[in-house]
A and B are shown apart, each in its own frame.
Chain A
Amino acid sequence: MDVVIWSRIQFAMTAAYHWLFVPLTLGLAVVMAVMETLYVVKKDEFWKKAAQFWIKLFAINFAVGIATGIILEFEFGTNWSNYSWFVGDMFGAPLAIEGILAFFMEATFFAVMFFGWNKVSPKFHLASTWLTGIGATISAYWILVANGWMQNPVGTTFNPETVRSEMASAAAFWEVITNPVAVSKFCHSVTSGWVTGGIFVVGVSAWYLLKNRHVEFARKSMLVGAIVGLVGSGAVMLSGDSSGVHAAEFQPMKLAAAEGLRDGGNGAAFTIVPGIQVPHMLSLLATHDWNGYVPGINDILNGYTDNDGNVIPSVEDKMIMGRTALDALAVYRKTDDPVLKAEAKALLEANVQYMGYGHLSRPEDVVPPVGVVFWAFRFMIGLGMLIALVLLLSLIAIWKDKLGAWKWLLWASILCIPLVYICGQSGWVVAEVGRQPWTIQGLLPVNVAISSLSAGAVKTTFFIFLAVFALFLAIEIRIMIRAIGKGPEVEPSENI
């Protein structure tokens, strides 16, 4: 395997691993902040002890999240050198803002939250708990502005003097930070974190109920967890719908791959699983129009006319225009003749829109691994709906006082903890594998985004990180299970 593949595998592993810890951070942050608010408002020690227990689990999880976040930041430079130059001007500003606004907030108030119970006032402590979660959420926004830009590169101009994408005006900056893809990604990711946090709390509480331990604590935690998780589920569905519309508009190949749609058309059907289809549903979801046109993989390869009447060229034509742009750029950079330079610049500007395609060697390169994206999409939706159902049933069981009778639901809640991770990971597989071969949609394919390293060097670091990640995960799970086993320091057990 070459350096491109190893760089991709390493980055994918780091990002996927990071995402094991982030959603629980985002979700538990809400749960524990709500509980501590109840403590401060009701002045009930129970809620303080409850919040402290979930904060303890939050802290175990938070450490690995931080440790892996910095790896991603470094890998942009170490493994994606061309990318970091090409996008530095666009991507740098959100990252710097993230550092200044969010990271310091998280780091400072996490320390107060964790150590400050006996050092600061209850209100200052409560503010710190909220600010830890808000810091994490703001952080998610800025990193998803960057990721959203890679999916839909708005507000950018290619500058042949510097050979990179640049942000040229306040309007461009505004476009970047309000990029619809970024906004819906932010809502989708953060609220999926609430689902993760919610079902985690529900699952752990269910375990206590099954063991007949900390019953009061478990019931009340389950209530908070189920509400946070259900609110999250609703928001995930809404933002998922807009993500689908954006994919249709900005990344039709991703949508086609997610649907396994070889040949598209008007009134396209949605495939639930191969062989079972709902007529017109894909058109409705993707375009909000019963008969809207959805292009398939072959349409995108061969060219088509979209719903607004725009003629989209074939990939082969885009590659020719892209190659023309790259050749013009080379002439522009090398010549000192002002006439030749002006001609080259004009030619570049006429074709720059497709410059990324000039790096491809054959049209089929634009097709992502269809099977992976297709099934990941189905896992994400199927598991997401199952988890929402379990959360809803948990709420009903608490309401109707059926927790003692519905033991199967308690087991289902525990089972949902690993499932929610598979669900979240599947979502990122759809988003990231689905946009292959692009690092930046249409502008920079992965094979050009890399660093000048040997495959052996990246392979070595991949295995080092693999070993470190496996070790940390094993430790994290062991410590987490022990902490759950020890339980909260609340009231003695009672029967359901």
Chain B
Amino acid sequence: MTYEFLQNYWWVLIALLGGLLVALMFVQGANLHLGNRVLSDTQKRMILNSTGRKWELTFTTLVTFGGAFFASFPLFYSTSFGGAYWVWILLLITFVFQAVAYEFQNKKGNLLGVKGFRIALMVNGILAPFLVGTAVGTFFTGSDFTVDKVAITDPSAPVISTWGNAWHGLEALGQYPALLLGATLVFLTGILGDLYILNNVEDDGIQAQMRRSVKLSIGPFLLFFLSWTAILLTQKGFAVSPDGVVSMEPYKYLHNLLAMPAVLCMLLVGVVLVLYSLYLGAFSQSRKGIWFAMPGTVLVVMSVFFLAGFNGTAYYPSNTDLQSSLYLANSCSSYFTLKVMFCVSLLIPFVVAYIAYAWHQMDKKKITAEEITTEENKY
């Protein structure tokens, strides 16, 4: 195994974890219905208990995504987390509230009341995909930072990665392509949530609402996604030469797509799967849309990561100092660490297998109103 192979391998895993994270954010999307006025309280609790059996996997995927990024590309971790401080802190706070909201919201003495925790879940439902989307959006727009490794020898200013402005990441809200990707993710995860609930909960009223919600989301989702894609494929990109010099290249991401036919295929297959799931959810009687939407989402997100990092591209570019931009080779862990982690990653199929088994056991019986009213162990 060469060093380059391991770098690429870990970028594939990061992309996969990113894809899984977005796909599993059906939890966030579905929770938006906790504010749906058409649904009764029992119906809302059915939704809550349906996502309540899955939220920890989304959460754990987020933690593992962060851990894997830290392990394989630590310079990204130190530069982006320490630099785009407010974006990550905001994301963190919404997830922290989400983590306790399930357990606490229907318990007496919870101080914030049911409503307070439902609002927390809905805020997480919007902000989490929006912030993740915006953060990934900056992979293509660039950020305001410099990296200088000699700085560590200077006692007065020893920090290697420094951010160029006091907004510390919030300035991304002024970059409309990044915002478009954020908005795309909000609607995509909303659709995933609808399709998941449609499949997982046995209730006619809820199902009608989910189908209606998918129909309403199709327009804005496609508008944001296609606008972002159009900008991406026509914009200048951050190219890295074989000797590590970063420069701007017109149509860089279009070039990447054409230079990597496999990624083009992944993207197209992913888009088709998502579109088919939209059809199933909005215009048919099928409840199986989620089974197409999730793999489709994973494929699309992975291809976006591949466009950002492969084919000589800086995946976390700096607008302030082009040569500070991060690409796979200058931001990764050492050969040996990547190799150890490669061996560990061979356990992933085993982990996926037991998760699938446990899910299968738990989901054999769909959630019903009867279960919500009689079962003692519930949220």
Contact = CB atoms under 8 A, between A and B. Distances in A.
Contacts of B85: 78, 451, 453, 457, 461
Interface string B88-130: 1100110111011011100111111000000000000000000
Given A69-B63, A70-B66, A475-B110, 9 more contacts: A64-B100, A70-B92, A76-B81, A79-B82, A84-B70, A100-B348, A112-B362, A167-B336, A478-B110
Interface in A461-482: 461, 464, 468, 471-472, 474-475, 478-479, 481-482
A452 interface: yes
Contacts of A107: 56-57, 59-60
Interface centre among B62, B74, B166 (most CB of A within 10 A): B74
Nearest to A477: B109
A482 B108 CA distance: 8
Contacts of A172: 336
A450 B341 contact: no
Interface stretch (B32-40, B146-154, B182-190, B317-325): B146-154
B215 interface: no
Tell me the interface secondary structure of chain A in the complex. Answer: helix
Nearest to B147: A85
B82 A451 contact: yes
A63 B100 contact: yes
A95 interface: yes
A88 B70 contact: yes
A92 B159 contact: no
Nearest to A325: B153
Interface in A229-274: none
Interface in A23-58: 52
Interface stretch (B199-207, B248-256, B295-303, B350-358): B350-358
A111 B75 contact: no
B96 A82 contact: no
A118 B375 contact: yes
Contacts of B103: 59-60, 62-63
Contact of A66 (B59, B112, B365, B375): B59
A396 interface: no
A96 interface: yes
Contacts of A81: 78-79, 81-83, 159-161
Contacts of A162: 149, 334
Given A63-B103, A82-B159, A450-B159, A159 B334 contact: yes
Interface of A: 52, 59-60, 62-64, 66-71, 73-74, 76-86, 88-93, 95-101, 103-112, 114-120, 124, 128, 159, 162-164, 166-170, 172-173, 326-327, 329-330, 333-334, 359, 361, 447-448, 450-454, 457, 461, 464, 468, 471-472, 474-475, 478-479, 481-483
B71 interface: yes
> Considering the complex of A and B, which 10 residue pairs feature the smallest CB-CB distances, nearest first?
A88-B74, A77-B81, A81-B82, A92-B71, A451-B82, A99-B64, A67-B99, A107-B56, A478-B109, A96-B71
B71 A453 contact: no
Interface string B151-170: 01111011111110010100
Nearest to A444: B152
A482 B347 CA distance: 42
B291 interface: no
Contacts of A85: 74-75, 77-78, 160-161
B161 A452 contact: yes
A67 B117 CA distance: 14
B68 interface: yes
A74 B81 contact: yes
B63 A78 contact: no
B285 interface: no
B112 A475 contact: yes
Contacts of A461: 85, 89
A68 B59 CA distance: 12
Interface centre among B62, B68, B159, B163 (most CB of A within 10 A): B159
B159 to A, nearest CB: 4
Contacts of B28: none
B347 A67 contact: no
A320 to B, nearest CB: 14
A59 B345 CA distance: 30
Contacts of A471: 111-112
A82 B158 contact: yes
Interface string B352-379: 0011001101101100000000010110
- For this complex, into which size category does the number of interface residues on chain B fall? 35 or more
Contact of A168 (B66, B99, B159, B336): B336
B160 A120 contact: no
A67 B109 contact: no
Nearest to A163: B149
Interface centre among A70, A88, A475, A482 (most CB of B within 10 A): A88
B74 A361 contact: no
A379 B262 CA distance: 62
B78 A88 contact: yes
B82 A104 contact: no
Given A88-B75, A159-B334, A172-B336, A474 B111 contact: yes
B53 interface: yes
Contact of B96 (A67, A105, A173): A67
B145 to A, nearest CB: 9
Given A88-B78, A96-B341, A334 B334 contact: no
B334 A166 contact: yes
Contact of A77 (B77, B150, B336): B77
Nearest to A159: B334
Interface string B42-54: 0000000000011
B80 interface: yes
A96 B109 CA distance: 37
Contacts of B70: 73, 76-77, 84, 88, 91-92, 95-96
A76 B67 CA distance: 10
B88 A78 contact: yes
Nearest to A483: B107
B1 interface: no
A63 B107 contact: no
B337 interface: yes
B81 A166 contact: no
A167 B337 contact: yes
B109 A479 contact: yes
A55 to B, nearest CB: 9
A107 B102 CA distance: 14
B104 A479 contact: yes
A83 B159 CA distance: 9
A482 B75 CA distance: 47
28 contacts: A66-B56, A70-B96, A73-B67, A77-B70, A77-B77, A83-B78, A88-B74, A88-B75, A88-B77, A89-B337, A92-B71, A92-B74, A92-B333, A93-B71, A96-B64, A96-B341, A107-B57, A108-B56, A108-B355, A108-B359, A111-B54, A118-B375, A167-B337, A326-B153, A452-B157, A468-B93, A468-B97, A475-B112
